[in-house]
Amino acid sequence: MPQTYHNVSTMPANLSEEPPGPITNPIFRGPERFRYYSVAPVPKFSRATWRLKVSGLVDRPFALTYGDLYSLPSVFVRADFRCVTGWVVHNVLWRGIQLSSLFGQAALQPEAKFVSFRSFDGLYRASYTLQQAMSEHAIVAFELNRKPLPTEQGAPARIVNPDMFGYKNLKWLGEIKLTATREQGYWEQKGWCNPLIGDDKTDDCS
């Protein structure tokens, strides 16, 4: 069985005591940094017109506005961010809406077994099993270290799941779609599999 990565904590965002900030890694003699990758030019968005669709095998499809991100119940997720190429940023603090709560609002149909995420640039996509997406720390993130996501980090919202490598944490989120079969993501279409952190094999390549 694949082993998931457990160096992660989740807490409600309405706690009176905010979680501590990120640490400084002494190896780098300063803050660690993200490397930014994109398979296409970074897309622009308007907060007034952006929508996040929840669709597919659900009884109640809906769309969220940017304002909805801040009005719905949210959580803080603290975790290391790990790229499949080997670099790490430790103790990253994300704020977001748990995917499981969105699924509850949408009312999943019994046939729903996988979840597809699509960027609003129309190009990049990724997919999880429903079990992976139901993790308590799998979220639609809209803040990074207490600030709104910057454009290069996927603004206005992105997927964050610390059990998955960075390329599975899709940026510039535009749609969440529930499906009966897996829709392969951008890199899986090019021959990659779906590895979990801590597992030297794969979670599913079918």
Q: What is the pLDDT of residue 2?
A: 37
pLDDT at 199 over 60: no
Confidence grade of residue 186 (pLDDT, cut at 50, 70, 90): low
Using CA atoms, how far apart are residues 54 and 129, in angstroms rounded to an integer? 16
**Which tokens hold the place of 138?**
């799998």
In this predicted model, what pLDDT tens digit does every residue of 36-74 receive, in sequence order? Answer: 766 667 778 899 999 999 999 999 999 999 999 999 999
Confidence grade of residue 123 (pLDDT, cut at 50, 70, 90): confident
Q: What is the pLDDT of residue 206?
A: 41
In this predicted model, what pLDDT tens digit does every residue of 127-150 receive, in sequence order? Answer: 999 999 999 989 999 999 999 999
Q: What is the pTM of this model?
A: 0.82
Using CA atoms, how far apart are residues 57 and 113, in angstroms rounded to an integer? 9
Q: What is the pLDDT of residue 48?
A: 93
Using CA atoms, how far apart are residues 31 and 22, in angstroms rounded to an integer? 9
